[in-house]
Amino acid sequence: MWNLDAFYNFMSYFIAVLPILFIGIFVFIISTPYNHFVLIKEGANNSEPKKVEAAKAVAHDLGGRLIGLAAVLASSIFNSVPIFDLVIWGCLGILIQVIVFYLFHLFAPVNVLTEIPNGNVAVAIFSSKLSIISGITLAALINY
């Protein structure tokens, strides 16, 4: 049997989550001195290994941040927080991702801001994992 309330709930959260994800992408891009999408585009179908590696690195970095943010949003929805609270948690998730990235940059033995766009995939993967860990941790803290 079709449940109209469940569909309304789904659509409400879905409509709230999409802008948060897009805002997250925007904030993640402007919070670094390099543009993830430009580097990904330059690395697509390119014969220059450095550009291909740079594309891989920034894709790992941005993807990890989005997974971390998605974990926060999913936990908010799972805990059935009101949509306003979902927006607050989403904004906090975005902020945490940026802070974790810059803490990694501060304490890493290399310059993260130059290594990732230069194609250091190892640094990008580690950055990605830190973002996922911070997102999952924040998600676990959400309890309504």
pLDDT confidence tier of residue 46, bands split at 50, 70 and 90: confident
Integer Rg of the chain from CA: 17
**What is the pLDDT confidence band of residue 144, given thresholds at 50, 70 and 90?**
low
Eight-state DSSP code of residue 70: H
The whole-model pTM stands at 0.91
Q: How far is CA 37 from the centre of its chain?
A: 14
pLDDT cut 70: percent of the chain above it: 99
Q: Which residues have CB under 8 Å from 45's CB, separation 6+?
A: none
Note the pLDDT of residue 3. 83
Provide the residue ranges of all domains of the chain, joining segments of one domain with +: 4-141
What pLDDT does 1 receive?
61
The type of residue at 115 is E
* Structure-token pair, residue 115: 């290594």
Q: Which residues contact 126 (CB under 8 A, 6 or more apart)?
A: 104
Buried b / exposed e across 26-50, counting CB within 10 Å, b at 16+?
Answer: ebbeeebebebeebbebbeeeeeee
Instruction: Assess whether pLDDT exceeds 80 at residue 2.
Output: no
CB atoms within 10 A of CB 134: 24
